[in-house]
Amino acid sequence: MIRALLFDFGRVISAQKPSRLFRGYENDLGLSPGTLNDIMFESPLWNQALIGELRMEDFWRAIGPELNLFSAGSIDAFRRRYYADEKINEEVVAIIASLSGRYRLGIVSNHPPGLEEWLRCWQISGLFDTVVSSGETGLVKPDGRIFQIALERLGVEATETLFIDDTREHVVAAQEMGMIGHHFRSAGSLISHLQELGVEMY
């Protein structure tokens, strides 16, 4: 029986940014199409930021020149623009709200320090019993230890837990620990899977 659900944050609770936004960023920055994500997230500096070894302010300053941003003001302006375009996935949050109080709920996310601030700004922090991030723990999915922290905080066994993530590798890692996994693609497919599992909603 499912007693707990763990959610990824990026592209699950937060909405997937449309490709037109990235085309707009790259056009305005004078970058080749399809290069922004590589510059930002394939950098070793991003891995340091993920586990809290590098402040996000320092990360942005370091990658600024690669984005054709050469002043503190231009870097900060683009950073604010990039973050302002982050949107909540309303359909997923509606699902989570319907589960709150019925099940133990948590987040397990590869995210730099500051994830709980996002949740507070979006006024959804109260929906979750625990929030476990790489920036807090120094552990990055698919490392099973980050999942174990969440399970212990919720007081549940792996076999009683459903893990939802848009990255298949992370879902497989959770399944190898005994959890039920859902490879997230849409709110509709998640609802269907929850219904199949007998999870009570609404």
Q: Are residues 10 and 69 in the same domain?
A: no
Q: Which residue range forms the structural domain that includes residue 167?
A: 4-15+88-196
Half-sphere CA count of 11, side-chain side, radius 13 A? 11
pLDDT tens-digit profile of 154-176? 999 999 999 999 999 999 999 99
Rounded Cα distance, 180 and 159, in Å: 7
Range list of β-strands (E), 34-145: 104-109, 130-133
In a domain, 94, yes or no: yes
Q: Are residues 32 and 130 in the same domain?
A: no
Rounded Cα distance, 133 and 131, in Å: 7
User: Can you give the pLDDT at residue 145?
Assistant: 98
In a domain, 48, yes or no: yes
pLDDT tens-digit profile of 3-32? 999 999 999 999 999 999 999 999 999 999
Cα dist. 70→75, 125, 186 in Å? 7, 36, 38
Q: Are residues 116 and 26 in the same domain?
A: no
What is the token pair recorded at 179?
């959890």
In a domain, 201, yes or no: no
User: Can you give the pLDDT at residue 202?
Assistant: 77
Rounded Cα distance, 12 and 122, in Å: 14
User: Can you give the pLDDT at residue 88?
Assistant: 97
Mean pLDDT (10-residue bins), the chain, 202 residues: 97 96 97 96 96 97 98 98 97 98 97 96 97 98 98 98 98 98 98 97 82
Rounded Cα distance, 47 and 44, in Å: 5
What is the token pair recorded at 189?
């497919």
Q: Are residues 31 and 47 in the same domain?
A: yes
User: Where residue 156 sits, what CATH number does that domain have?
Assistant: 3.40.50.1000
What residue type is 163 in one-letter code? F
